Amino acid sequence: MNIMLCGASDMKVISGQFTDIVNKFGFSPLCFIDGTIHYNNYTTWQENSELSVQNADILVYVILERHGKLTWNTEFTTAKNLGKPFIIFCLEETYSFYRGLARNPDIHIEKGSAVGRVINLLSQLDSEQRTIVPFEYKSFDELLHRQILLLLRQSIKSLQKENQ
């Protein structure tokens, strides 16, 4: 089973925890940061991202401080269109900070700015009623483990229903 870590380049700080947990399950970690995703030199970055999502069984999206354009404009859209299971994590400090900015009517933030893109992303996820799992760096591995188990449990229940 392939589990893909998706996000901006700042997620390098948690990529080791991700790899450790995925390996403990006996699955294959995929991440552009550590070279475990093999890209095709004859396609665009967008096409490579779409192919990576197609090859993944579970996608793990992480928001730390930055917004990854390919992650949210291509990979997330592709995953939703294909019905791929995914988990969304957001650093608790980042989530609180951006939600506070978004709710403050006295602050004007340009939508195209780095801050504006993260605020828009979080607003979009909220409007789609997507569950965002807040985390702290020290607990990412534990929460990832728990969330993968929840997905597997839900998959087994769906299979059981289908078998009935």
Sequence-separated contacts (24+) of 45-48 with Cβ below 8 Å: 45/70, 46/70, 46/74
Instruction: Kindly report the backbone phi and psi dihedral angles of residue 29, in degrees, each rounded to the nearest multiple of 5, phi listed first.
Output: -80, 140
Distance CA(54)–CA(79), nearest Å, equals 8
Q: How many CB atoms lie within 10 A of CB 26?
A: 7
- Mind listing the pLDDT tens digit for each residue in 132-151? 999 999 999 999 999 999 99
Percent of the chain at pLDDT exceeding 90: 53
Distance CA(160)–CA(164), nearest Å, equals 6
CA angle in degrees (0–180, nearest 5) for 77-114-41:
50
| CB-CB contact of 116 with 122 (8 Å) | no
Which residues make beta-bridge pairs with 29? 3
**Closest of 21, 30, 90 to residue 57, by C-alpha:** 30
Which pTM value belongs to this model? 0.88
Residue for token pair 């095709």: 40
pLDDT in tens, the chain (164 residues): 999 999 988 888 999 999 999 999 999 999 876 655 655 666 777 788 888 899 999 999 999 988 777 888 889 999 999 999 999 999 999 888 888 777 777 777 777 777 777 778 888 888 889 999 999 999 999 999 999 999 999 999 999 999 99
Residue for token pair 């980042």: 94
Q: Strand, coil or helix: what is 26?
A: coil
